Amino acid sequence: MNAPPDDSPDAYAFDRDALAEVFVDRDALYAVLRDEQAGVAVLEITVPWVAWYGVYFWLTAEELALLREDKPAFDRLVRSYAQDKGERLHTDRLLLHQGPGGERHPASRPRRAYPVGED
Report pLDDT for 38.
Answer: 87
- Domain assignment present for 10: no
- Domain assignment present for 1: no
- Domain assignment present for 7: no
- Kindly report the length of the chain: 119
Phi-psi sector, 109: left (phi>0), alpha (psi -120 to 50), beta: beta
- Look at the chain and report how many structural domains it folds into: 1
- Domain assignment present for 92: yes
**Single-letter amino acid code for the residue at 33:** L
Residues 118/39, Cβ–Cβ less than 8 Å:
yes
- Domain assignment present for 6: no
Report pLDDT for 108.
Answer: 53
The rounded distance, in Å, linking the Cα atoms of 46 and 53 is 6
Q: Could you state, in chain order, the average pLDDT of each consecutive group of 10 residues for the chain (119 residues)?
A: 49 83 94 91 88 88 94 94 72 78 56 61
Report pLDDT for 100.
Answer: 62
- Domain assignment present for 34: yes
Residue span of the structural domain in which 36 resides? 16-114
pTM over 0.85: no
- Domain assignment present for 5: no
Residues 94/55, Cβ–Cβ less than 8 Å:
yes
